[in-house]
Amino acid sequence: MSEAHEAGAATGHDVLVTTPSFGQHAREPWEVFEAAGVRARTASAAHPLTERQLIEEAEGVRALVVGLDPVTAAVLDAAPGLTVVAKHGVGTDNIDLSAAAAHGVRVVNAPGSNTTAVADMTMALLLAAVRRIVPAHASVTGGRWDRFFGPELAGRTLGIVGFGRIGQAVARRARGFDMDLIAYDPHLPAAVFAERGVPSVTLDELIAAADVITLHLPMPSGGPLLGRAELAAMKPGSCVINTARGGLVDEDALAELLHSGHLAAAGIDVFATEPPAGNPLLTAPNAVLTPHCAAFTQQANAAMGSTVAADVVRVLRGEEPVNAVV
């Protein structure tokens, strides 16, 4: 770690970076700060910080670069010099946007920077889950020769919940596997679906028709989007893929339906609580689980960090950010 981003005392243009993935595999994000003469320091507490930890660490800073840390009204109250909060990623559901606006704090993110990485991981989880790659690998390395049957993707219906950049990128990849596509996204106009050649359906229609459901949207209010009733209404032998937010799926119900065999497989990169100690999915059959790493490619790491760092510098200079959320 260079002197420019060692942990240390705050300065007039200090940036606190709380997420360990910022510039983890790329020098470019740190170099953006260094070239602008802006000092960035890392948090001493482990990510994600609690509200109390963030309040303590953010004292005196002008900018925050956060991952999943809760940027609440209390955090904003405790950091009167704060000018900008940058989400190292896309979803800003951990940031109180209304409170930020009330405090005059800009919020920026990095839309599109992890699209390719997450779309690739979605297909990797899908293939690993339905073709049972993990137990097949364990069979060979364990000195056995068990062989596992699974369905082909061609002709299967992929239901894409959330049809933004990542959902559309998944659709392009799934077409290469000759899958049939449907999508649900109440926030997009019909023209977007028509342009992409993907039918727009209601969530209930998607649940009833899909052989695979993949999730690509922020966490809604009011509980899981795929609760117990929705998961039970899925076709027998179908599959759930989640690379978006853990709270989108009722994890207890998903585990039960995997155990019962109603659902054939699941590929899960995100969990309601991370790490997922004691999560029922840890012992569920035919579940491929990864540690919230869908966006972890060298290319995405460089692009995401550089994008938010550049906007932080713009705001600190009094300029308009490129990717403003608030």
Catalytic residue among 5, 88, 196, 292: 292
From CA 107, how far away is CA 312, in angstroms rounded? 9
Asked about 245 being catalytic, the answer comes back as yes
pLDDT of residue 11: 42
pLDDT in tens, the chain (326 residues): 333 444 333 344 589 999 999 999 899 999 999 999 999 999 999 999 999 999 999 999 999 999 999 999 999 999 999 999 999 998 899 999 999 999 999 999 999 999 999 999 999 999 999 999 999 999 999 999 999 999 999 999 999 999 999 999 999 999 999 999 999 999 999 999 999 999 999 999 999 999 999 999 988 778 899 999 999 999 999 999 999 999 999 999 999 999 999 999 999 999 999 999 999 999 999 999 999 999 999 999 999 999 999 999 999 999 999 999 99
Asked about 5 being catalytic, the answer comes back as no
Catalytic residue among 28, 56, 205, 274: 274
Could you tell me which of 136, 105, 123 has the C-alpha nearest to residue 239? 123
pLDDT of residue 94: 94
From CA 10, how far away is CA 39, in angstroms rounded? 8
Coil, helix or strand at residue 170: helix
Coil, helix or strand at residue 280: helix
Catalytic residue among 41, 245, 251, 314: 245
Asked about 292 being catalytic, the answer comes back as yes
Arithmetic mean of pLDDT over the chain: 94
Name 52's Cβ contacts closer than 8 Å, sequence gap at least 6. Answer: none
> What's CA 314's distance to the chain center, in Å?
25
Tell me the two tokens of residue 125.
């989880």
- Give CB contacts under 8 A, 24+ apart, made by 129-137: 129/239, 129/241, 129/265, 129/266, 129/267, 129/286, 129/287, 129/288, 130/212, 130/239, 130/264, 130/265, 132/265, 132/286, 133/288, 134/288
Instruction: Please give the helix or strand (H or E) that residue 182 lies within, else none.
Output: strand 180-184
Instruction: Note whether 312 and 38 are within 8 A (CB).
Output: yes
Instruction: Note whether 228 and 257 are within 8 A (CB).
Output: no
Tell me the two tokens of residue 161.
């919940």
pLDDT in tens, 161-215: 999 999 999 999 999 999 999 999 999 999 999 999 999 999 999 999 999 999 9
From CA 268, how far away is CA 254, in angstroms rounded? 11
